[in-house]
Every structure is written in structure tokens, then in C-alpha cells.
Amino acid sequence: MVVMAQFLLHGSWWIPLYGVLGACLALPWSLGLIRRSGPRPAAYINLLATVLAVVHGSIVFRTTWSQEPQYLVFHWLRAADLDLSFVLDISSVSTGAMELVTILSLLAQVFALGYLEKDWGMARFFSLMGFFEGAMSGLALSDSLLLSYALLEILTLSTYLLVGFWYAQPMVVTAARDAFLTKRIGDVLLLMGVISLGTLAGSFNFPDLYEWAETAQLPPIVTALLGLALIAGPTGKCAQVPLHLWLDEAMEGPNPASILRNSVVVACGAYVLIKLQPVLVIFPVASTTLTVLGTLTAVGACLVAMAQIDIKRALAHSTSAYLGLVFIAIGSQWTGFALLLLFAHALAKALLFMSVGAVIYTTNTQTLTEMGGLGRRMPATTIAFLVGSIGLEGVLPLGGFWALHLGLNDFWGSAPWLVGVVLLVNCLTALNLTRVFRLVFLGDPQVKTRRAPEVGWPMAVPMVSLTVLTLTGPLVLSSLNLLPAWQDLGWQMTGLLIGSGLLGCLLGSLVVLTRTWSRPVQWTWKFLQDLLAYDFYVDRLYRLTVVAAVGSLSRLTSWLDRQVLDGVVNLMALVSLGGGESLRYTSSGQSQFYLLTILLGVGLLGLGVLWYW
């Protein structure tokens, strides 16, 4: 057993390749080359590959626990003094993150068997999920900034393809395009930062970057620009202000993809920032920017979520809010809080989106005002939503409580105002989830929910399994000595955290909810409702500023190209044509005349040069 465990440990780099291999083996069904058997064999191939990844990853995690990290180096390009190598970090943290990705991917794929049962593109979906899983698993192990950037690009492409899965719908095409272009803005700036940092440090590997950062001396302007470039990519990946609009539009894609996108995909950018944190210490502008952007996103996204009537969008904005807390933690250099919050949020948000997917599947609607009374008809889905909500709101003893409590501990002495931000986000999240729960599961059944049954076993089994995993997650962390002892809890902070959640639940229970989207009569309330529902009009602001500026510049360059550049080229063509036509009549066929013309031309040219000098 020991020999086998060591063999699998040294083969840890296979784990990200399982998903990619499954996706490649499923290509004949994805491309429509095999139609007779239907798309299900492609799904089974990818499920088998993910099961292998989960088993292999669990063995590696147990082997690496309480041991020193090991590094696997793959030399990609060697030329002169240039050595581009990919380094994999085989440690308990990296393998634990990878195991979380593979487990959630397995549950999401099993859920997709039922959700996409009658969809003609099931094989294509499972192939894309394989690339999704492979990129995230590789990112968890990556110890190279260049490799991490490449894997983030694969995630961007996979997001574009999965959001645009139902490409026959115009809104889906628009959402996929906007998601891709919004991420590209941050990716271009991140690429500039990666190349600049690698050039300055002489290496792209994180250990070498840490060593360089200890003695680096850079001019202030270079420090500011390089730091901002390095955080630009993760800002887009984590849907933070001002690159946050794509996650809301990405909800047009299939729900099984949203399960991963809102739990672990958005966390990948934050994971890269956590790896970069020892380098970001020398960029104070970047750290301050992370804290500011995280605060704006955390509070703003919570407010916007409360005004949404699309159930997936209401939860998607909550994802941006919690990633905002992670940005605050990284900017404040509390990476332990960031990692624990990412773990707790991943489990709770995946469970919430799984229960929401079950609701959408049975009711054929995503509009909250068309739902109601599902609590008695869908008990397993109702329990899953409640457990996910409690795990996210910081209720003792689930994982969200321990993560947020750790954040309060970290901020209590260093930045007390951030304690207020954490409590406010917890309160607003509880208010929003209580509102969604009342509209979906309580009240009288509506037209689309009167005959809604509980989902079948392909969707119920992963949902119940994830419910159990969310409930037992703190026990697993406690057994690994990753949680503080009960006697070490600060009861003052515990009371504040639980009190903020209860206050949010109370407000969410007392607010008046109507099944029709009523409009306030007072102009002030109407303006506030529209301000939150339309995400503070950020998209319109972009259209009036950035989009308008780019459009005007494009029209100007088009006019210059047609009128000025083409005019000059056409003028030169006319001159050449006229000169050729005129010289045609001077051709006498006598060589003496040609020689005289050459001598005169050279003489005039020489006189012109002498006159100039």
C-alpha cells in the first residue's frame, strides 16, 4: 500500500489530465460522429474519468497530510539562459483544493444527467465540463505564474462555450460574448503583469518570485502599475467591480455549469491572488485597491441581489459579494481567512445552485414571482436550500460561521471598520436568502408550481450527498485541526455574527412580498428599486462612456482610412498612371535620347542635393 501510495503521489500530475482525457474520448459523440447510441456514452466516459480523479486525489491528499510539500518540475523551453518550467506544488493545501474541485465536479455531472436528460447537446456539455475540471484541478496544483495564467485562459474559453451552450437563443449568444470580452479586459492586463514580473524576477515560479520580492527595489510608478496589472485578471475572474457584469449574464447557461461556476470557478482567480500574496506585499497600491474593490463589491452586490426577481441572478450577485470578502482578506494579508471562506462558500453555494436547479427543472421558470408553495411538494430540495443558506449565513456550527468568525478575529484589532463590512454582508445575505426562500417554498402554490414534483434520483442523489457534505464539512475540518477549539471562541464576536444573521432573517421575514412585480408610487422608492434592479446602471454607464468612446474612435479611424490614407494612395496611383501615360508619347526608340534623359535626371537630382546641403 505504501509503495502504491508513493507511486500515485509522484503521478499527481495525472489528476488534471483525467478530465481532459474524458473530454477527448467523448469527442466522437460531441461532434456528432456517433449518433446511433445517443449522447449518454459521452456522459458516462466523463463520469468515469472524474471518479478516477476523485479516488486518485483522495489517496494523494491522505499521503501529503502533515508532510513537507513536494515539487514536480517540467521544463518546457530551454534556450541560452532562458528556462521556462512548469512547477507543480504537491502539498496538503493544493491537493485539498484539487479534491474539492473534483468532488464538486462529480456531483455536478451526476446532477447534469437528470437536468439535461432530453437535451440533444448533452455530449458536448460533458466534454466542456471535462476541460472545466482539468483546468481547475491544474490550477490548484500549479506553482508557476505562467502556467496559472494559461489555465485561467482555458477557464475563460470554457466559460464562453458553456455560457453559450444553447447558442440558438439570441440572449445566450449575447451573454457568452459579454462574459468573454469582460474577462479579456482583465486578462490582457494580467498578461502584461506576468511578463513584466517574470522579466524583473528572472523566473515565473512562485518560490523564485517570493525570494525576489524580499529584496526587490522598484520605482513607485512601476510598483503601482505592475501591482494593478497583476490584480486586474483576478478582478475579472472573480466578478468584482468594475468587471462584475459577466457573472450575472452567465446565468443564461445550463444550471449544472452554474453550480461549478459560482462555487469554484470564480474562486480560481482569488486562489491565484492568494499564491501571489507574498509578492503583492511590495505593491501597497494593489493591496489597497483589493480592499476597496472588495468592499464596494461585497456591499453593492448584496444590495443588488435583493432587487432581483430571477432566482439564479439573485444568487449570482451573492457570489460576487462573498468573493469581495475574499478580496478584502487578501488585501489585508489574511490568507487563512480567505482560504477558509473559499472552502465554506464553495460547498454552500454549490448546494444552493443545485437546489435552485431542481426548482427550475420542475417549474420551467426562473422568475421568483411565478413560484410559491414548493416546500410541501419538494422536501429534499427545500432542505438542501435551507442547509445551503445556513452554511452561507454564518450560523453555528456550519462552515460559513467558522470562516466569518475567523475574519472577525483577524479584523478586530487591525481594521475594525472591516468588521462592520463582514457583519453587513452577512445580514444582507440572510435577508436576501430569506426573501428567496419565502417566494419559492412558502405561500400558496402558483400556476407553475401546483403540480411540481420532487426531482428524480439523478438530481436528488447528488443534492442529498452535497447536503450531507455541507453539514459534515466542519467535522472534517475539525478532525484535521483546521478549526479553533470551542473554548477559544470569542463570544462577543460570536454574538455579533449570529445576531447579524438573525437580524437579516427577521427583516427578510417581515418585509412585504407580492407575487406581482409592483411599482412604488413614490419617485424616491421607484428610483431606488430601479437603481438596485439594474445594478446601479453600470451597464448603461459603460455604454455612454467606454462603448461610446470606442465606437467614436472606430468611426474616426474608419473615416481616416477611407478618406486620408486611401486618398493618398489613390493620388499616388493617379500620378504614376499619368506619368506613365505621358512618357509613352516620348518613346522614340533612339538610345541617344534615352541616355540624354538619364543624364538630365541625374544632373537635376545632384543639383537638388547640393542645393539642400
Report the percent of the chain where pLDDT is more than 70. Answer: 94
Q: What is the DSSP string of 177-192?
A: HHHHHHHHHHHHHHHH
pLDDT at 359: 92
Nearest-angstrom CA–CA distance, 146 and 201: 13
Kindly state the DSSP code that residue 564 receives in the 8-state scheme: I
Cell of 274: 492568494
pLDDT tens digit sequence for 243-302: 888 888 888 888 888 898 888 989 998 999 999 998 988 889 999 999 999 999 999 999
606 pLDDT higher than 90: no
Q: Per-residue pLDDT for 580 more than 70?
A: no
Please tell me the pTM assigned to this model. 0.88
Distance CA 521, CA 499 (A): 33
Q: Are 398 and 470 in contact (CB under 8 A)?
A: yes
Which phi-psi region, left, alpha or beta, contains residue 353 (left: φ > 0; alpha: ψ -120 to 50)?
Answer: alpha
Round to whole Å and give the CA distance between 103 and 164.
25
Strand partners, 70: 90
Report residue 337 as a C-alpha cell. 481567512
**Which residues, at least 6 apart from 59, have a Cβ–Cβ distance to it below 8 Å?**
5, 8, 9
- What is the pLDDT, as a whole number, of residue 350? 93
Identify the residue whose cell numbers are 475574499: 326
566 pLDDT exceeds 90?
no
**Contact call for residues 99 and 52 (beta carbons, < 8 A):** no
Check pLDDT > 70 for residue 581. Answer: no
pLDDT value at position 298?
Answer: 93
Asked whether the beta carbons of 336 and 404 are under 8 A apart, the reply is: no
Mean pLDDT of the chain: 86
* Cβ density class 412-434: b for 16+ within 10 Å, e for less: eeebeebbebbbbbbbbbbbbbb
| Model confidence pLDDT, tens digit, residues 470-528 | 998 888 888 777 777 776 677 888 888 899 999 999 998 888 776 655 666 666 777 78
Q: Give me the count of residues in the chain.
A: 613
pLDDT band at 464 (very low <50, low <70, confident <90, very high): very high
The pLDDT-based confidence of 589 (bands split at 50, 70, 90) is low
- Rounded to an integer, what distance in angstroms lies between the CA atom of residue 163 and that of residue 513? 31
pLDDT of 322: 93
Q: What is the pLDDT of residues 423-451, one digit of tens each?
A: 999 999 999 999 999 999 988 888 888 88
Please write the tens of the pLDDT for every residue from 371-393.
888 888 899 999 999 999 998 98
Q: How far is CA 447 from CA 287, 359, 451, in A?
A: 51, 14, 9
Q: Reply yes or no on whether the pLDDT at 596 is more than 70.
A: yes
